[in-house]
Structure 1
Amino acid sequence: MRSRTAAATAAAATAALAMTTLAAGPAQAKNPNNSKKMTRAVTVENVHDHLEQLQAIADANDGNRGAGTSGYEASAEYVEQTLQDAGYETERQDFTFMYEEVHGTSLTELSPDAREVEHVPMSYSQPTPEGGVTGALVAPAVAVGCDTAAWDGVDLSGDSDIALVSRGDCSFAAKAVSAGEAGAEAVLIYNNVEGPLNGTLGGVEPTSAPATGISMAEGQALLQKTAAGPVTMSFVLDKTMEQRETFNVLAETDTGRDDNVVMLGAHLDSIGDGPGINDNGSGTAGILETAVQLGKVNKLNNTVRFAFWGAEELGLLGSDHYVADLQENDPEELDDIATYLNFDMIGSPNHIIGVYDADESTYEAPVAVPAGSVATEAVLTDYFDAADQPWVDTAFSGRSDYSAFINAGVPASGLFTGADGTKTEEEVEMFGGTAGITYDPNYHTPADDIGNVNMEALDIMSDAIAHSAITLGQSTKEINGKTSRGKSGKPGPTVPVGPEGADAA
């Protein structure tokens, strides 16, 4: 981010909230230039204050902070004003995306039984025609329905046939397109594991049939009924789909070598029907308060850049755009990123203390792990070990905004307190909480609000964010072998970064 422009001044009310929040916190170190000082400076009270402001913004904007909405704009203004008050210049990086808003949806079995069927419409699905689709349920010859050949010999001559296909072997988009091209007016995709199916087509597919996901149990029950006789279904998906603009918010320290940049990121947007305070107001608040306190450090050896991503909930769009833009227009700047740390959901109510498993000691990664990722993970795990804080690996799956970075060869790791996974008895022994339920029962629901954030998890993770920012801001030698050098290109002193550090640096 070598060329930066200041963002537009935030609304006066938002500015007042930001200044009130910062003024209300306890006195902080003037130069928190080592881990001990920085973790003391980044207090959970101040992090929680940021969450309260994000909750107030959601409350004032239809209950959400989703990309392309007034709630997202107000969230960005709050972040920008807070950063500017701390001495940063901020930049908005604009990009377009497909905005979706579901106005109403239903899936009904009309015969042989009359009942409502639980379902989750696929992201990027086409809407149904006005009034919905009512017709016979039809399964392909090949259950997964990945291409039109799977429908060979299957009668789709009805006016409004609805396809029933299994998850597996290909993308949801391929299934929806194949069903549409074969003549189906809608497609139900059933899971191949227990539980509901919440999927995405990954993008707009004009030739696809309107698509929704159902559980494996529902799919198998409907499949058995079709074998016994006709099944009539009705599917309604009333939604808006249109191109809109949104943006990432970027800021970086004004000290430190700019050819060895440490990046910290969190997505700023919520889902469309909830305030998103844990997902991901928590990560946003954690890196925002870290940025505020890091701005007080007199000298850093490496530039630290903070990214507040837009439209993560719509498919990691903001971070994908950022990396793709560098790949196309400034590959040298992409090479200058020493490592990227991602913080997505750090206050889950039934939490774990999870670190992305870059060394694959527990989970095999689905992509080649970039060199330097293991050392980035170690910055976090070594910190927890030194503090006798239990932690567990969480899959290095690319499920959040680090995906584009690792696919581009940039080292990465990060923190996560859990989403829709189920807590085990072993994890209860380590972290407390309740076994047999999800880490965040409010995940992707309107109940993801300020009242459900776990303060213990938020405190532990905020300190770890603070530690990683100052530690890597002073040295990335273990990650990429680079030692200190000022922005002028002249060698500079290496600042001690242990628990005590050097006060004079």
Structure 2
Amino acid sequence: MHRRTRSRLSLIAAATTLAALSLCPPAAAFPIPVADAELPDLVTVDAIRTHLQNLETIAAYNGGNRATGTPGYDVTAQYVTDQLRRAGYTVTRDHYSFEQWVEHSDPVLTQTAPQHREFTPGDDFLSMAYSGAGDVTAPAVPVDATGADSGCEDADFADFPAGAIAILKRGTCTFEEKAARAADAGAVGAVIFNHGDTPNDTGPINGTVSNPAAIPVVGASTEVGEALLAAGDGLELHLKVDASVEEAHSYNLIAETRGGDRNNVVVVGAHLDSVAEGPGTNDNGSGVAAVLEIAKQLNRLGTPRNKVRFAFWGSEESGLIGSTSYVERLSEKERERIALYLNFDMLGSSNYARLIYDGRNELPGSVPAPSGSAAIQKVFEDYFTARGLAAEPTEFSGRSDYRAFMLAGIPSGGLFSGADGTKTAEQAARYGGTAGEQFDPYYHTADDTLAHINWASIDELSDGAAYAVEVFADSTLPVNGVAPLRARTLAEPSFDRCGDRWER
């Protein structure tokens, strides 16, 4: 009797288990079909336009910009915080300190011999960020200035006369390395001129030596470099950089969904600051507005399977400082919990293209992307294909906040509408707009305003961003296998860019 009862109970338990299992829906196939996605419909152009109008108003009444360390930045942060709190998020300020390079007056570069020639800051040359301060007049000497590795070896400076200004060509090593070797050889200044290998690499170099240099360093155009080399013996220059490095403080804003797997976090980011020259409505009000609206609407879809963390980065325009500080302060366990990073920086360029970050490393200017980045790229590509819209890869060059995540081995991706690059005839045929002009002619100027936003670009790219967030909030299977640990076997990437400034 006892044995028969136990057998019967076992059958009942098994049946109950099977019934319970039958109530559990099977795992959904990856990804969510484009036609079934809800978030792109919830994230509307009208809502993004309202955010952009508000950000531009904040800039207009606070000195004309939203740069880090300004009232415009603080009020922008308060606006984003208020919007997120109304949508049910807890928002934290992630504080950091950094060394901020500050230029106090225009730099000077003048040829004083064998003939006099004035060069114009902005048009002919620019100070490099973290250049040392100095005001020198001295002989100028080329350092292997016809080779791609100019100044990249100690041997290049074997016969360099102490007390001279080094003339160097942009090439294979970083500007920091060139400047340090020049200083070690006794140079009192350095002029690094653009190589001119492509049409976009002929103007003055908007570069950085990354860490404070011992000597003044400027980045000149190809034309200036050629003129200095043609001057021959007896070349003398007056070089002046008036700058200092000061301790500064700022903060990122971080908010995340209440639910979702905390061991498999999808991070979505955009930089909160503008340049000092203007309101930054496209750069990067457009990314902020899109990410903010995605965060607000995601809560309407219920609890995601994966936790989604929204980040609004500070000090991007000063050299990716906010995002870099954030990633570097994460513990290894915290980094391993991040499944992937999505970056949205400039989505409304007036002469736009639909650009997807190059997770497959197809472009020569891209660094090796961490494993899983190609899957992120494919999600965006498949979305635009399903919508009947052309798209193409853009370089992982180090110009935006994905840089720190990639250096940490975290799969990364995102969308971009173009900045100071030039649209080709093929791109104009594909996306419309004007060939031969910049994607955003108003980039980093006072004219980066609502009047110059391309709303078709906002519509298409914000929908693509929303779709990717909805997909990865549900599953990150092809990116990381939803595993807590993942192999990271690629060589460490070495970026040419830190934000908008060239490093080499």
Residues 21-72 of structure 1, C-alpha deviations (whole Å, 9 max, x = no match): xxxxxxxxxxxx9964322221112112212222222223332222233222
Structure 1: how far apart are the matches of 2:35 and 2:263?
22
Residues 451-495 of structure 1, C-alpha deviations (whole Å, 9 max, x = no match): 222111011111111111222212223333349xxxxxxxxxxxx
Secondary structure of the structure 2 residue equivalent to 1:247: strand
Structure 2: how far apart are the matches of 1:34 and 1:250?
31
What's 1:173 paired with?
176
State the Cα distance separating 1:258 from its structure 2 match: 1.3
Equivalent residue letter for 1:121? S
Q: Is the aligned partner of 1:283 residue 2:291?
A: no
What's 1:500 paired with?
none
Q: Which runs of 5+ in 2 are unaligned?
A: 1-33, 197-201, 484-504
Equivalent residue letter for 1:286? A
Q: Number of aligned pairs?
A: 437
Q: Is the CA contact 2:272–2:314 (under 8 Å) kept in the aligned structure 1?
A: yes
Distance 1:195 1:114, change over 3 A: closer
Structure 2: how far apart are the matches of 1:162 and 1:396?
34
Q: Is the aligned partner of 1:108 residue 2:110?
A: yes
What's 2:469 paired with?
469
What's 2:132 paired with?
126
Give the structure with higher Rg (CA): 2
Equivalent residue letter for 1:224? A
What's 1:295 paired with?
299
Equivalent residue letter for 2:174? S
Distance 1:272 1:147, change over 3 A: farther
What's 1:92 paired with?
93
Q: Is the aligned partner of 1:411 residue 2:419?
A: no
Distance 1:350 1:47, change over 3 A: same
What's 1:155 paired with?
161
Q: Is the CA contact 1:419–1:440 (under 8 Å) kept in the aligned structure 2?
A: yes
Distance 1:220 1:453, change over 3 A: same
Residues 323-377 of structure 1, C-alpha deviations (whole Å, 9 max, x = no match): 2212xx3x222212121111111111111001112123x4257544322222212
Structure 2: how far apart are the matches of 1:403 and 1:447?
27
State the Cα distance separating 1:428 from its structure 2 match: 0.8
Secondary structure of the structure 2 residue equivalent to 1:333: helix
Structure 2: how far apart are the matches of 1:63 and 1:241?
24
Distance 1:34 1:243, change over 3 A: farther
Q: Is the CA contact 1:66–1:270 (under 8 Å) kept in the aligned structure 2?
A: yes
State the Cα distance separating 1:387 from its structure 2 match: 0.8
What's 1:242 paired with?
246
1:199 to 193, 196, 207: 207
What's 2:13 paired with?
none
Structure 1: how far apart are the matches of 2:241 and 2:159?
29
What's 1:30 paired with?
none
Structure 1: how far apart are the matches of 2:284 and 2:127?
22
Q: Is the CA contact 2:166–2:182 (under 8 Å) kept in the aligned structure 1?
A: yes
Equivalent residue letter for 1:39? P
**Bigger shift: residues 33-42 or 277-286:** 33-42
State the Cα distance separating 1:448 from its structure 2 match: 2.2
Secondary structure of the structure 1 residue equivalent to 2:65: coil
What's 2:352 paired with?
351
Distance 1:364 1:163, change over 3 A: closer
State the Cα distance separating 1:213 from its structure 2 match: 0.5
Q: Is the CA contact 1:35–1:470 (under 8 Å) kept in the aligned structure 2?
A: no
**Structure 1 segment 66-465 matched on structure 2, within 5 A:** 66-105=67-106, 106-111=108-113, 112-117=115-120, 118-128=124-134, 132-140=135-143, 144-146=150-152, 149-157=155-163, 161-193=164-196, 194-205=202-213, 208-225=214-231, 227=232, 229-326=233-330, 329=331, 331-360=332-361, 362-364=362-364, 366-465=366-465
Secondary structure of the structure 2 residue equivalent to 1:145: coil
Residues 143-200 of structure 1, C-alpha deviations (whole Å, 9 max, x = no match): 622355433333344xxx4322111232111222222233332211101122321110
Secondary structure of the structure 2 residue equivalent to 1:48: helix
Residues 298-338 of structure 1, C-alpha deviations (whole Å, 9 max, x = no match): 22211111011112222222222222212xx3x22221212
Q: Is the CA contact 2:102–2:246 (under 8 Å) kept in the aligned structure 1?
A: no
Secondary structure of the structure 1 residue equivalent to 2:242: strand
Structure 1: how far apart are the matches of 2:35 and 2:307?
15
Residues 77-119 of structure 1, C-alpha deviations (whole Å, 9 max, x = no match): 2111111121110111111112233232132233403323421
Distance 1:35 1:244, change over 3 A: farther
Distance 1:482 1:156, change over 3 A: closer
What's 2:64 paired with?
63
Equivalent residue letter for 2:355? G
Secondary structure of the structure 1 residue equivalent to 2:104: strand
State the Cα distance separating 1:418 from its structure 2 match: 0.8
Q: Is the CA contact 1:423–1:436 (under 8 Å) kept in the aligned structure 2?
A: yes
TM-score (norm 1): 0.81
Structure 2: how far apart are the matches of 1:414 and 1:445?
24
Structure 2: how far apart are the matches of 1:363 and 1:77?
39
Q: Is the CA contact 2:419–2:438 (under 8 Å) kept in the aligned structure 1?
A: yes
Secondary structure of the structure 1 residue equivalent to 2:161: coil
Structure 1: how far apart are the matches of 2:430 and 2:143?
47
Secondary structure of the structure 2 residue equivalent to 1:380: helix
Distance 1:468 1:190, change over 3 A: same
Distance 1:240 1:277, change over 3 A: farther
Structure 2: how far apart are the matches of 1:405 and 1:50?
27
Structure 2: how far apart are the matches of 1:377 and 1:141?
40
Secondary structure of the structure 2 residue equivalent to 1:72: helix
Structure 1: how far apart are the matches of 2:75 and 2:236?
46
Q: Is the CA contact 1:163–1:187 (under 8 Å) kept in the aligned structure 2?
A: yes
State the Cα distance separating 1:445 from its structure 2 match: 2.8
Q: Is the CA contact 1:341–1:414 (under 8 Å) kept in the aligned structure 2?
A: yes
Structure 2: how far apart are the matches of 1:435 and 1:175?
36
Secondary structure of the structure 2 residue equivalent to 1:296: helix
Secondary structure of the structure 1 residue equivalent to 2:301: coil
Distance 1:35 1:355, change over 3 A: farther
Kindly report the root-mean-square deviation, in angstroms, between the aligned alpha carbons of the 2 structures. Answer: 2.2
Secondary structure of the structure 1 residue equivalent to 2:461: helix
Equivalent residue letter for 1:51? L
Q: Which runs of 5+ in 1 are unaligned?
A: 1-32, 484-505
Equivalent residue letter for 2:64? G
Structure 1: how far apart are the matches of 2:254 and 2:78?
12
Q: Is the CA contact 1:68–1:99 (under 8 Å) kept in the aligned structure 2?
A: no
Distance 1:69 1:41, change over 3 A: same
TM-score (norm 2): 0.81
